[in-house]
């Protein structure tokens, strides 16, 4: 179980104890302790050597009853037999939901802090709030909080749910096809963002929009809001800007899909498994 730090008293988790879990980030990687077949987050006693006088050490929350901390390194030389450097995406796929939540929060907070070292109003150096995750300007009193970038992602079906629209984005690795997605604009509702993204990227209209689930996506600070919708009208075609190709696919016949662990894959699996159930 993972609990946010907001409600923790200042003294309870002031500094890591030897056996407190610590998230060590190095670019898009994190340190994992892997011994005799089991894997876990490393303890402070195992990674404090990497922290040095690290000013980025932060409290992340409580993970399974223990205070969890995090810090970031520019480079990391691991010569220890049991510590390994894992890609964050692999971690999110293989670790528990609680550990993944802690890692997502650590990455977003550390990234946000690195980009908010000075007050945008008066340029004074910011200080961490002792009450919550905010940063306070000691000169003008401005308070800054971590910002999220909400993004919508939509599984669009037709033919009574048997066909799903999948598209290849020019930024995707290899030949992966996924769902239509995009960021919510300032002042825009989620419903309007979904309709606009679909219209802009593939030229169709949808109906019966339904919310499915959400997922933190710390690359660097997205909140993915997943929906399902039914095709209404128009001819689907790739915009040639973001999307290079798209098509309608079935559970038996589809291109390479995004990795497990992403919300896109969860929605795709859900739609395809439902279409298989309906067929029986």
The CB-of-212 to Zn ion minimum distance in angstroms stands at 41
Residue ranges that bind Zn ion, judged by CB under 5 A: 119, 121-122, 124, 137, 139-140, 142
Residue with tokens 């995750």: 133
Which letter does DSSP use for residue 55 in this model?
T
The CB-of-111 to Zn ion minimum distance in angstroms stands at 21
The CB-of-256 to Zn ion minimum distance in angstroms stands at 49
Which letter does DSSP use for residue 102 in this model?
H
Alpha-carbon distance of 156 to 242, in angstroms, equals 18
Please, what is the end-to-end C-alpha distance for the chain in angstroms?
38
The CB-of-59 to Zn ion minimum distance in angstroms stands at 24
Alpha-carbon distance of 92 to 260, in angstroms, equals 9
Q: Which is nearer to Zn ion, 114 or 139 (CB)?
A: 139
Compute the chain's Rg from CA coordinates.
22
The dihedral through the CA atoms of 94, 95, 98, 104 has a sign that is: negative
| Secondary structure E strands in the chain | 2-4, 22-26, 29-35, 38-40, 58-63, 66-72, 83-87, 127-128, 135-136, 143-144, 149-158, 163-169, 180-183, 205-217, 222-233, 243-249
Length of the chain measured in residues: 280
Q: Which is nearer to Zn ion, 117 or 280 (CB)?
A: 117
Residue with tokens 């993944």: 100
The CB-of-125 to Zn ion minimum distance in angstroms stands at 9
The CB-of-144 to Zn ion minimum distance in angstroms stands at 10
Q: Which is nearer to Zn ion, 34 or 116 (CB)?
A: 116
């Amino acid at each position: 179980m993972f609990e946010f730090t907001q409600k923790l008293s200042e003294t309870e988790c002031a500094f890591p104890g030897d056996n407190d879990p610590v998230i060590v980030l190095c670019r898009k990687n994190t340190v994992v302790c892997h011994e005799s077949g089991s894997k876990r987050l490393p303890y402070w006693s195992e990674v404090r050597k990497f922290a040095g006088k690290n000013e980025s050490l932060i409290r992340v929350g409580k993970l399974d009853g223990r205070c969890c901390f995090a810090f970031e390194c520019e480079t990391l030389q691991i010569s220890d037999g049991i510590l390994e450097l894992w890609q964050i995406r692999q971690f999110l796929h293989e670790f528990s939901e609680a550990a993944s939540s802690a890692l997502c929060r650590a990455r977003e907070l550390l990234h946000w802090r690195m980009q908010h070292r000075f007050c945008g109003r008066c340029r004074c150096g910011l200080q961490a709030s002792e009450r919550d995750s905010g940063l306070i300007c000691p000169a003008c009193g401005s308070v800054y909080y971590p910002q999220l970038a909400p993004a919508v992602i939509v599984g669009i079906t037709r033919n009574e749910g048997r066909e799903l629209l999948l598209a290849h984005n020019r930024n995707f690795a290899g030949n992966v096809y996924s769902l239509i997605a995009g960021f919510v604009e300032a002042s825009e509702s989620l419903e309007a963002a979904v309709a606009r993204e679909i219209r802009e990227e593939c030229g169709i209209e949808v109906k019966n929009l339904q919310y499915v689930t959400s997922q933190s996506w710390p690359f660097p600070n997205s909140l993915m809001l997943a929906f399902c919708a039914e095709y209404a009208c128009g001819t689907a075609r790739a915009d040639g800007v973001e999307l290079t190709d798209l098509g309608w696919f079935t559970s038996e016949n589809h291109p390479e899909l995004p990795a497990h662990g992403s919300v896109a894959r969860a929605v795709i699996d859900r739609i395809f498994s439902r279409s298989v159930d309906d067929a029986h």
